[in-house]
Amino acid sequence: MERFGDEVVLSVAEFAEAWSEHERQAARLALAARCIEHSGEWAADGSMSMIAWLRHHSRMSNREAAALVHHGRFLEAFPDIATAAVDGVLSAGQVQALGVATTPAVAEVMAAQQGELIPVIAELSVADTEQAAAFWKRRAEAMVESPEPVEPDRELRVSRTTDGLVGKLVLDDYGANEFETAIRVASTWEGKHDLRGKPRRSADALVDICAFFNANHDRPGTPRNRPHVELSVDADTLHDNPLGWTSDHVMLHSKTVETLLCDCVIHRVTRAGSTVLDFGHATYSVPKNLFRAVAARDGGCRVPGCDRPVSWCDCHHLIYWEHLGPTAIHNLGLFCNRHHHWMHRHTIIVKLLPNADMEFTFPDGSTRISHPHAPPGAGP
């Protein structure tokens, strides 16, 4: 070992050993990341996914974080390969080649044959490993019985009740995998004080997914492609627990009405008893250009620790609209769907500071500061 200025220079042998140890540690870290992903601890600070947690706490790029999470899942699924990676029997390049070859269709074959493959692969270069893995994949696909494709068995039946929506969902393997992945990505956990059970967290995630689609679909709709939802509100109740119902005459909780009023399309309806005398032009509680200005300032959900981007967010009146809070940039903040509802359900005071930071004061008197999200590509 020598020094070049202030830098340590390793010999060829020392470098090779150091790199081998680096790869062994990387395999251990990938498995550790998978354990954390399983436990849900990544959500304790408001992170929306394991990838988001890695981006924030380990200062990884999105690509690096996604690769680490994917690597951990692969190693967990194939323990013999994981052991070989941790022990340095297989290099990271060799493990990656096996991962590329292991598609869902041949995963069961890999699970059965991984122990036999390792000693053969271990002696090869990465380039030869890639060729061998591709050859193995072709043989494995020939071993797998491919049934005639059939129409997926999918069914969704829902009905409205006084408590909300109930129903039945049936999905095939592909649909189930897509559904489970979406729920996992959208699920949040707020640490030891989060009293929601897994069913409730999954339901919250499904609502977030639906809200995201409603805000971002490419079909005709209101600005930001939001669907037009008709809501009737009794004007006499606006300033205290607003009373509202849908066009299907489904009564909504007052907190749901408050949340919808923050960022919606409003029609003025004049009635004489049950007779409609006038149906006014649509006006937006937050005009499109104003929303864009708030989005440019905030860059995403402003709840501390939340990394939901603009496309997941609504505008929220810091002083509530129904409490005569002005629809102006100094009284608006960007909040994702779940945190928007959360703000309306809890007594949380938010103050916009002159430097665009937001100060959150919680019911127990504690405070936290939220900084605007940096725009993509911005430097430190």
Percent of the chain past pLDDT 70, that is, above it, reads 72
The larger pLDDT score, comparing residue 35 to residue 278, is at: 35
- 270, β-bridge pairs: 278
- Whole-angstrom distance, CA of residue 94 vs CA of residue 128: 9
Q: Report helix, strand or coil for 26.
A: helix
Same domain, 320 and 363: yes
More confident residue, 346 or 373: 373
Strand partners, 157: 168
The stretches of the chain forming alpha helices (DSSP H) are: 12-39, 50-57, 62-77, 79-86, 92-101, 107-122, 126-143, 173-186, 198-216, 254-262, 288-298, 337-345
- The candidate with the shortest Cα–Cα distance to 101, out of 131, 79, 77, is 131
Number of domains in the chain: 3
Report if residue 76 sits inside a domain.
yes
Average confidence (pLDDT) over 131-157: 78
Residue recorded with tokens 């900084």: 371
Residue predicted with more confidence, 142 or 214 = 142
Claim to verify: residue 201 and residue 276 sit in the same structural domain: no
- Chain mean pLDDT for the chain: 79
Between 2 and 75, where is the model more confident? Answer: 75
Q: How many CB atoms lie within 10 A of CB 233?
A: 19
**Which of 107-121, 308-322, 357-371 has the lowest average pLDDT?**
308-322
Same domain, 115 and 168: no
What are 227-241's pLDDT values in tens digits?
A: 445 556 666 665 566
237 shares its domain with 341: yes
Provide the residue range defining the domain that includes 163.
155-189+196-216
Answer yes or no: do 176 and 257 share one domain. Answer: no
Within-domain flag for 150: no
Question: What was the pLDDT predicted at 172?
Answer: 73
- For residue 117, the one-letter residue type is L
Task: Between 160 and 235, name the one with better pLDDT.
Answer: 160
On whether residue 149 sits in a domain, the answer given is: no
Domain presence at residue 376: no
> Would the pLDDT of 17 be above 70?
yes
> 127 with 170, same domain?
no
Do 260 and 136 share a domain, yes or no?
Answer: no
Q: Answer whether residue 375 is part of any domain.
A: no
In this structure, the answer to whether residues 229 and 364 fall within a common structural domain is yes
Q: In this structure, is residue 73 part of a structural domain? A: yes
What pLDDT is recorded for position 121?
92
For range 267-289, the mean pLDDT: 56
* Vertex 190: Cα angle to 187 and 192 (nearest 5): 130
Does pLDDT of 39 surpass 80?
Answer: yes
Collect all residues with Cβ–Cβ distance below 8 Å to 169 and sequence separation of at least 6: 155, 156
Q: Are 328 and 205 within one domain?
A: no
Q: Are residues 263 and 209 in the same domain?
A: no
Residue 85 pLDDT > 50: yes
Could you identify the residue written with the tokens 């680490």? Answer: 68
Highest mean pLDDT among 141-145, 176-180, 303-307, 367-371: 367-371
Range scoring the smallest mean pLDDT among 145-154, 183-192, 275-284, 330-339: 275-284
The answer on 139 and 11 residing in a single domain is yes
- Do the domain assignments include residue 48? yes
10 vs 53: which has the higher pLDDT: 53
In a domain, 331, yes or no: yes
Q: Do 245 and 333 sit in the same domain of this protein?
A: yes
Whether 379 has a pLDDT exceeding 50, the answer reads: no
At which residue do the structure tokens 């020094």 appear?
A: 3
Which pLDDT tens digit goes with each residue over 303-339? Answer: 988 878 888 888 888 887 667 778 788 989 999 877 8
> pLDDT tens for residues 205-229?
888 888 777 777 666 544 454 544 5
222/109: higher pLDDT: 109
Residue 350: pLDDT band (50, 70, 90) is very high
